[in-house]
Amino acid sequence: MNRTLPSLAAAASVVLVLAACSTPTTAGSEPVSGGTLVYASGDAEPTCLDPHVGGNYPQALVATQYLESLVSKNSDGEIIPWLATKWSESDDGLSWDFTLRDDVTFTDGTPLTADAVVANIAHLKDPETGSSTGYLAVQKVSDVTAVDDTTARLTMSSPDSGLLDSLSQPWLAIESPTALERPQDENCESPVGTGPFVVTKWDRQQSISLERNDDYTSPPADAAHEGKAYLKAIEWRFLPDSASRYAALQSGTVDVIDNVQPDTIVASQKEDAIEEIDAPRPGASNRIELNSSKAPFDDARVREAFIRSANVDDSVASLFFGTAKRSYSALSSVEKFGVSEPDLFDYDQDEAASLLDAAGWAEKDADGYRVKDGEVLELDFPVSTNQSIPAEVSLFEQLQSTAKEAGFKVNLKPLDLSSWYGALGENDYDLVSAPYTKVGADVLRILFDSSGTVPAPSGYFANHSQVKDPALDALLEGANATSDADERADLYAQAQEIILGGFYILPLYDQQNHFLLRSDVKGLRAMPTVSTPTLYDTWLAR
Amino acid sequence: MAGSLTVDLVAAAPTAPTRGRLARWALLRLGGIVFVLWAVATVTFFALRLIPGDPAEAVLGGPGSQASAEALAQARADYGLDRPLIEQYGLYLARLATGDLGSSYALREPVASVISTNLGPTLLLAVLSLVVALAIALGLAVWSTRGGRIAVGIGSVLEIVAAAVPHFWLGISLILLFSTLLGWLPPVSVPGPLGLVLPVLTLAIPLAGFLGQVMREALLDALDSPFVLSARARGEGDSGVFWRHALRHAAIPAIGLTGWAFGSLISGAVVVETIFARQGLGRSLLSAVQSRDVPLVLGVVLVVALGYILVTTLTDLADRLVDPRLAKAHL
């Protein structure tokens, strides 16, 4: 007895070791069905789970799991079929026909037909919906009709080459027309789509419970598998604190986290059990915009002097630990029409000094700030604390001190989002940094067209540089009106030359979007549309 | 102790003239409560509306949503934000008087129901933290006063350090130690008692530092006072003197501080609930302030103020029970 016990234990341990070795190899190759994935989001909790209402990134993140769009994008930036199998544009660009899949049913049993497209666009355009992102995207759509059960025709007030880009976004996802007829509060709590998961419960300020849609049939053309999702359920938690979010991932309490800060990314590289996904957001790059509507930045030489004085490369390297790549473009690196001009943004204090001399800011006061006609060269820089990551605020502080060398007095003003909007609405800024996520180069028209300088009654406007250049307007309108890819590329290139060459913006880096996951979470990818992670192909190797 | 408590209660039982005074006291107290609540509602209402920014943005999703002019106008009309501020204030007060707290802009839910779901978790956290803090403080005070000069020194250093530690730092340190390093406890709130340990400790430790200092001072004072001498003269032993007489004196300042402690626990809950991702009023309040969700901020602030008043009233009563002199002097 005394002898058999140890040998039994030895045999058992051999079996255990073998079992332990074999698990990862078998699990590593073949996807396994089942299990619940816990996703911990550091973004604000959505106020409504229907991304038609409002339309921000936190909504897009979670809606990617249960709603689907007419089209999607592949990793080469090409539009690919999703709920629509094909589409065609009329020669004058004023009419688009979309052919829908005929075998798709919403999770409430309503079949997907052309009437659903009609109802969804009407829902986006209805002021009572309170849509902002989606509403802007369908502004040029004047009418939608159901030609037959599977063909929807969109009539445009003027041609819009960005239409397919717009329709690929989660903010324009197609929801069940039956569900949309419910009161808004109800639809916000349990939106109904065609996606691989279904919202079953929403505990506010805690989590959203999602369960697999077992009748799922409609993955986008670039998905890795067909049929229903592997995961049985998703628990979508809200963990606002960055340090505890990472601790929760390390301990395995959660499987995926978003909004990962540079220091955490570096720390995670030492951990074998954790992997990173870097998925820059589309649309505009993160940039500092220079307000050209008033002194001192109404003088292009002063704008250039500020840009010459900004030592962005060194600051980005030291604050982001190599996790963010410097951008020299107005557009995100995922946008295929983006133009990069590294030479325009050289750091050169001597050049900054002589530009300021030439612009009449030749004298210096006792503190070393430039003076002209008794006025100090001051720049107001309101910073929205809700939108900026900590490293970015440190970056602005470093730029403040390099600009001081040239004689600029930069006043950084940390403000909450509402006060920040207030400062912008009153034109009470010289420098500002505002992210803008949108699929496609048409974001340039939103950010730099003259019409974008006119504030809405809310005080909001998108053209923070306040560029008013008829030539630029014509280029951006022209690019939006043509669907010819080469012509668009050419027009967008010319437009970006005006924007970058006019020193209206100081590009920093892509809009950062990093995810960390446990290494036994397989098959997770970011959608090439707005870089939200999709859990459809994801499975757990455990 | 139990015997003397009964005696106190009998002594405090209202006779005819005291009953009149009790009624007046209760009426004054009630008037005071209504006044404080009105003042809290008014100050919060105007403070939230006078700082720049537009609550209508909260209705439309807050950060990151580029609200269109039409959508904003619609939201303003829906929530009466287009009326003059003073009119909005009047409407709010009128509704408040009927007990209607309104609807949260951001959560699209009646404020009363948001509060009722979140009140329980916060109260549980606060009460547990208070109990744990009192236990730690008492333990430390008793140990250090009975342990001689060196123990007093160690005790007071521990208390000062504990009292000075900010919640966010303590919370993250506890997570690093007990979750990341040792792997004993979950780093974020999970259902069940295990998920409560770190949040409760984070709130209790700084509070225990404050309470411990006060309790030890009171204990040392009591041990030096004449009644202890006379108790000893009656032949009571060391532990009898300590547990029966001195401790009772030490309890008085601790009870008096409970009202204040409740306030500090609620403000600490804002931080702790955020770090540990716990459901509760603190977390609701933080996100409501950030998104200018005026009705929810007002609702939570009113409930917290009411809770604070209730706790102070209760500690007043408790003081009277423990210290009969107060009951006779002021009632």
Q: How far is B245 from chain A (nearest CA, A)?
A: 45
Q: Between residues 188 and 217 of chain A, which touch chain B (CB distance below 8 Å)?
A: 188, 203-206
Higher pLDDT, A444 or B71: A444
Q: Which residues contact B233 (CB under 8 A, 6 or more apart)?
A: none
Give A183-219 pLDDT, tens digit per residue. Answer: 998 999 999 999 999 999 998 888 999 999 999 999 9
Report pLDDT for A100: 97
| Mean local confidence (pLDDT), A128-148 | 89
pLDDT for the residue numbered B66: 57
Burial-class residue B160 by CB neighbours within 10 Å (0-12, 13-18, 19+). middle
Mean pLDDT of A153-175: 95
Mean pLDDT (whole number) for A352-371: 94
Which residues, 6 or more positions from A178, have their beta carbon under 8 angstroms from its beta carbon? A106, A108, A110, A192
Tokens of A138: 């369908």
Of B62, B68, B275, the CB nearest to A417: B62
Distance CA A538, CA B67 (A): 34
Average pLDDT, chain A: 90
Is pLDDT above 50 for A8? no
Indicate whether A142 pLDDT > 90: yes
Considering CB atoms only, which of A48, A251, A386 is closest to B108?
Answer: A48
Q: pLDDT-based confidence at B156, cuts 50/70/90? A: confident
C-beta atoms of A421 and B57 within 8 A: yes
Tens of pLDDT along A391-400? 888 999 999 9
User: pLDDT: is B312 or A3 the higher one?
Assistant: B312
CA distance A459 to chain B (A): 9
A residues 456-515 closer than 8 Å to B (CB):
456-460, 462
Provide the pLDDT for residue B244. Answer: 72
A393 vs B49, higher pLDDT: A393
CA atoms within 13 A on the CB side of A327: 26
Whether the predicted pLDDT of B96 surpasses 60: yes
pLDDT of B52 over the 70 cut: no
| Contact between chains at B292 and A418 (C-beta distance less than 8 A) | yes
Chain B residue with minimal CA distance to A454? B69
Which residues in chain A have their CB less than 8 angstroms from residue B70's CB? 127, 135
CB A61 within 8 A of CB A256: no
pLDDT of residue A457: 55
Contact B141, A81 (CB under 8 A): no
What is the rounded distance in angstroms from the CA atom of residue A522 to the CA atom of residue A539?
Answer: 5
pLDDT tier at B199 (50, 70, 90 boundaries)?
Answer: very high
Q: What is the pLDDT of residue A3?
A: 43
Of residues A302 and B138, more confidently modeled: A302
CA A398 to chain centre: 26
Length of chain B: 331
pLDDT score at B16: 54
Taking CB atoms and an 8 Å cutoff, what residues of chain B touch A205?
118, 279, 283-284, 287
Instruction: Give the pLDDT score at A163.
Output: 94
Give A229-286 pLDDT, tens digit per residue. Answer: 999 999 999 998 888 899 999 989 999 999 998 999 999 999 999 999 999 999 999 9
Tell me, rounded to whole angstroms, the distance of Cα A325 from its chain centroid. 16
d(CA A488, CA A161): 9
Exposed (0-12), middle (13-18) or buried (19+): which is B43, by Cβ within 10 Å? exposed
Residue A132 in contact with partner chain B when CB distance is under 8 A? yes
Q: Is the pLDDT of residue A24 over 50?
A: no
Of residues B265 and B108, more confidence is placed in: B265
Mean pLDDT highest for which of A26-40, B185-199, B272-286? B272-286
* pLDDT at res. B326: 65
Pairing of the two strands A514-518 and A256-257 = antiparallel
Nearest C-alpha in B relative to A41: B277
* Alpha-carbon gap, residue B255 to B134, rounded angstroms: 10
The pLDDT > 90 percentage for chain A reads: 75
In this prediction, residue B125 has a pLDDT band, given cuts at 50, 70 and 90, of: very high
Q: Tell me, what's the pLDDT at A11? A: 44
Q: Check pLDDT > 80 for residue B62.
A: no
HSE at residue A51, side-chain half, CA atoms within 13 A, is 27
pLDDT at B12: 45
What is the arithmetic mean of pLDDT over A56-84? 94
Mean pLDDT of chain B: 80
Could you give the C-alpha distances from A115 to A63, A100, A109, A146, B218, in angstroms and in order? Answer: 22, 11, 15, 6, 77
Q: Do B65 and A55 touch (CB under 8 A)?
A: yes
- With bands split at pLDDT 50, 70 and 90, how would you rate the model's confidence at B267? confident
How many Cβ pairs closer than 8 A exist between chain A and B? 175
Is-contact B282 B115, C-beta < 8 A? no
Query: Rounded mean pLDDT of B305-327?
Result: 78
Q: Which of A56, A126, A132, A433 best probes binding to B when mutated, by most B CB atoms within 10 angstroms?
A: A132
pLDDT number for residue B315: 81
Q: ipTM for the complex?
A: 0.73
Tokens 């208070």 belong to which residue?
B130
